[in-house]
Amino acid sequence: MSVKKFKNADKPFKWKHFTGDIILWLVRWHGRYALSYNDLKEIAAERGLFIERSTIFRWVQEYAPDIKKQIKHYLKQTNDSWKLDETYIKIRGQW
C-alpha cells in the first residue's frame, strides 16, 4: 500500500517515532485478522519493536479510515440476489 495516498500525502507519518511501514503493518493486521492490541504488541516485540497497546490503538483510529477508503475499490462486490435451499416453514399451521 502506498504511503502517498493518505489525506496528508506529503508527510502522513510526520512526528511518529516508528516508520510508516511499521504503522501500516500493524494497522492492517488489526483490521484483517482481528487481533487485539495486546496480540499486536506481542507480535511487534517478537520482532524487536516495543510498542504500547495505546499507541497501536491511536494508529488504528488515525489511519484505518484512510486504509478502508483505499481498499474499498478492490473488495469483491456482491449482488443483491441470494438463494435458500430446502427450507420448510409453518404458516397458519400448515407446512
Instruction: Report the largest interatomic distance among the alpha carbons of the chain, rounded to a whole angstrom.
Output: 69
- Asked if residue 67 is part of any domain, the answer here is yes
- Asked if residue 79 is part of any domain, the answer here is no
Is the pLDDT assigned to residue 81 strictly greater than 80?
Answer: no
- Asked if residue 93 is part of any domain, the answer here is no
- Asked if residue 84 is part of any domain, the answer here is no
How many folded domains does the chain comprise? 1
Distance CA(30)–CA(46), nearest Å, equals 16
Distance CA(63)–CA(24), nearest Å, equals 8
| Entry field: residues in the chain | 95
Which residue range(s) make up the domain with 27?
Answer: 3-72
Distance CA(1)–CA(15), nearest Å, equals 20
Distance CA(35)–CA(53), nearest Å, equals 12
* pLDDT tens string 11-69: 777 777 788 888 889 998 998 888 999 999 999 999 999 999 999 999 999 888 888 88
pTM exceeding the 0.75 threshold for the entire prediction: no
